A = this chain, B = another copy of it.
Amino acid sequence: MSPDAQHSEDRVAQPLRSDAERNRGRILAAARRVFARDGLGASMASVAREAGVGIATIFRHFPTKEGLVAAVFADRMDAYADAVVVALEDPDPWHGFTVYIETACAMQAADQGFADVLTTNFPTAKAMEERRNEAIAGMVRLIDRAKATGRLREDFDTSDLVLLHMANAGVVSACGDSAPDAWRRVVALFIQSLEGPARGPLPASPDHDALHKAMRRTGPAGLTTPEPDTTS
- A contact residues vs B (CB 8 Å cutoff): 119, 160, 163-164, 166-171, 173-176, 178-179, 181-182, 184-186, 188-190, 192-195, 198-200, 202-207, 210-211, 213-215, 217-218
Contacts and interface: CB of A to CB of B under 8 A. Distances in A.
B175 A206 contact: yes
A140 to B, nearest CB: 19
A185 B167 contact: no
18 contacts: A119-B174, A163-B185, A166-B170, A166-B171, A167-B171, A169-B170, A175-B206, A175-B211, A178-B211, A179-B206, A179-B210, A179-B213, A179-B214, A181-B203, A185-B205, A185-B206, A192-B193, A192-B199
Oligomeric state, in copies: 2
A215 B222 CA distance: 29
A130 to B, nearest CB: 23
B170 A182 contact: no
Contact of A169 (B174, B179, B185, B214): B174
Contacts of A204: 185
Contacts of A207: 179
A156 to B, nearest CB: 9
A191 to B, nearest CB: 8
Contacts of A167: 167-168, 170-171, 186
Contacts of A210: 178-179
A169 B169 CA distance: 9
A171 B170 contact: yes
B186 A189 contact: no
Contact of A185 (B160, B171, B175, B179): B160
Contacts of A163: 171, 182, 185-186
A186 to B, nearest CB: 5
A114 to B, nearest CB: 15
A168 B186 CA distance: 11
A185 B195 CA distance: 15
Contacts of A215: 174
Contacts of A175: 166, 206, 211, 214
A189 B169 contact: no
A167 B171 CA distance: 5
